[in-house]
Structure 1
Amino acid sequence: MGKKQRVDKILSNMGFGSRSEIRRLVKQGAVKVGGATIKDFGLQVDPELDVIEVGEERVVFREFVYVMLNKPQGVISATEDSRDRTVVDLLSDEYRHFDAFPVGRLDKDTEGLLLLTNDGKLAHNLLSPRKHVPKTYYAEVEGRVGEEDKDAFRRGVTLDDGYVTMPAELLVLREGSPEAGVVSKIELTIMEGKFHQVKRMFQAVGKKVVYLKRIAMGSLLLDEHLAAGQYRELTVEELEQLRGHTDQ
């Protein structure tokens, strides 16, 4: 059994219009609860149990939304900004009325996996330092990345502010060659999320990240079919695995 809420609040949260538009619909006799037309827009109903209809459309209630976005470059990880486009601006109206927010942040020039949701508990668990949710990035790095860097990252490196990182797993996909101007291609899994962390870790070993993309967060893998700027809802399985990861 769910929590009772006002009809006008439920319908506005589900995208059927503003509160005033909902009230107009109620006055026009267009809203039914349990098959009966209602006249009181402040009527308290249980959206999980009571059948609500607007016109001929049955309202399918859900409290939370979980969206996987392949964040493009040039867009910032915020809900609003006076100068730049935000990740929320990429969502259609169908999702915007849920007031979803990005779980964590990716730099403006970083691409890849970003979860947007209005589930504050899940977001808190995913970001909690105590949960140690791993994040995996693909990066292209100027210079040769090799075994010595693997060892350094496995031990933890000291960032520019004196912070020593937790052990991180570095996988070298291709060793670069500074002389030939060939970048190294790597995957890096970190257990924390400090500001600009991946870039600063490579800075600590004298190298520069020139391209960065997040490809995984916990059990959630970026859908390779999503082009930059595209998004989709999580599957039931993805959500269950993600919750299982944070409940440990």
Structure 2
Amino acid sequence: MERLDKFLARELNITRSGARLLIRSGGVSVNASPACSADRKIDPDADGVFVNGREISYNKYVYIMMNKPKGVISSSDGRRTGEKTVVDLLPPEMKRKDLFPAGRLDKDTTGFVLITDDGGFAHDILSPKNHIEKTYIAVLDKPFDAAVRRDFENGMELGGKTCMPAALESVGGHPACAKIVLKQGMYHQIKRMFKKHGITVLELKRIAMGALELDENLAPGQARYIGKEELSLVKKSTKYV
């Protein structure tokens, strides 16, 4: 059971005082009966809550796919640095308290960011022991060769550590455009792996997490909800590695 004002504040992304004001205004009903008390206890799974005639759907957690643009940080709070975050880009109807990106992309890296308020799920997909795959497309300043591919696939030595084997292949037959599949997330890993071979990454985009691919219909900065069936794909292998 949950207080009505707490439920409304979370689901409508408003303050508790704002929720209480909404209740006092007479615009809230529960199971077709007017709700007058902010501390009324409801069962979000069973009770129907309406605001001005519109039912408020209940989702304990939400999962959002965003096509991150350049120049935005993968954080939920940019107040310390004054920078715009991926959560800032969400439209008002998608925002709710406690949202955060599950994993980070560099500021100049684009593509798939998963935003959620489910800490348990985020822990599962970010835990190094689970080896969730992330797939990227990189535009390079020069072609890579078979020796670079072997180094990726065999587990490259990087900064005194041995990387997990990673898949590397050209895209469309162009060796200066690469697809990379990683099972770990070291700092600036892809850029450092190519830099070891004298290659600079000019553009980097994440196109998949596990077997869930970035929706090609999402323009940079746009986002959509991830369905339950899609969500299960995040933990599935692409079979590349």
Q: 2:101 matched to which residue of 1?
A: 102
Q: 1:64 matched to which residue of 2?
A: 61
Q: Please state how far the C-alpha of 1:26 moved relative to its aligned partner.
A: 2.5
Q: Please state how far the C-alpha of 1:17 moved relative to its aligned partner.
A: 3.6
The answer to whether the 8 A contact 1:5-1:46 is kept is yes
Structure 1 SS opposite 2:205: strand
Letter in 2 for 1:120: G
- Corresponding residue to 1:210 among 199, 202, 214: 202
Distance 1:220 1:43 in 2: 40
- Corresponding residue to 2:48 among 51, 63, 71: 51
For 1:67-86, list aligned pairs within 5 A.
67-81=64-78, 82-86=81-85
Distance 1:133 1:139 in 2: 19
Q: 1:187 matched to which residue of 2?
A: 179
For 1:8-27, list aligned pairs within 5 A.
8-15=5-12, 17-27=14-24
Letter in 2 for 1:170: L
For 1:43-192, list aligned pairs within 5 A.
43-81=40-78, 82-159=81-158, 161-173=159-171, 174-175=173-174, 184-192=176-184
Q: Percent identity at matched positions?
A: 40
Q: Which shifted more, 55-64 or 137-146? A: 55-64
Q: Give the length in aligned residue pairs.
A: 234
Distance 1:16 1:108 in 2: 27
Q: What whole-Å deviation, never above 9, does each CA across 1:134-190 have from its counterpart, x for those lacking one? A: 11110011223011111111111121x2111001111023455xxxxxxx1110111
Q: CA 1:119–1:28 in 2, change beyond 3 Å: closer, same or farther?
A: same
Q: Please state how far the C-alpha of 1:67 moved relative to its aligned partner.
A: 1.0
Q: 1:37 matched to which residue of 2?
A: 34
Structure 2 SS opposite 1:154: helix
Structure 2 SS opposite 1:125: helix
TM-score by length of 2: 0.90
Q: 1:180 matched to which residue of 2?
A: none
Q: Please state how far the C-alpha of 1:200 moved relative to its aligned partner.
A: 0.8
Letter in 2 for 1:168: A
Q: What whole-Å deviation, never above 9, does each CA across 1:103-129 have from its counterpart, x for those lacking one? A: 101101111111111111111111111
Q: 1:181 matched to which residue of 2?
A: none
Q: What whole-Å deviation, never above 9, does each CA across 1:46-91 have from its counterpart, x for those lacking one? A: 1111122223222211121111111111111011213221111110
Letter in 2 for 1:238: E
CA RMSD of aligned residues (A): 1.7
Distance 1:25 1:139 in 2: 49
Q: Which runs of 5+ in 2 are unaligned?
A: none
Letter in 1 for 2:138: A
Q: CA 1:22–1:164 in 2, change beyond 3 Å: closer, same or farther?
A: same
- Corresponding residue to 2:216 among 224, 231, 239: 224
2:193 is aligned with 1:201: yes
Runs of 4+ in 1 over 6 A off after TM superposition: none
The answer to whether the 8 A contact 2:135-2:182 is kept is yes
Compare CA radii of gyration and give the structure with the larger one.
1
Distance 1:175 1:224 in 2: 21
Q: CA 1:131–1:85 in 2, change beyond 3 Å: closer, same or farther?
A: same
Distance 2:131 2:74 in 1: 21
Q: Please state how far the C-alpha of 1:243 moved relative to its aligned partner.
A: 5.5
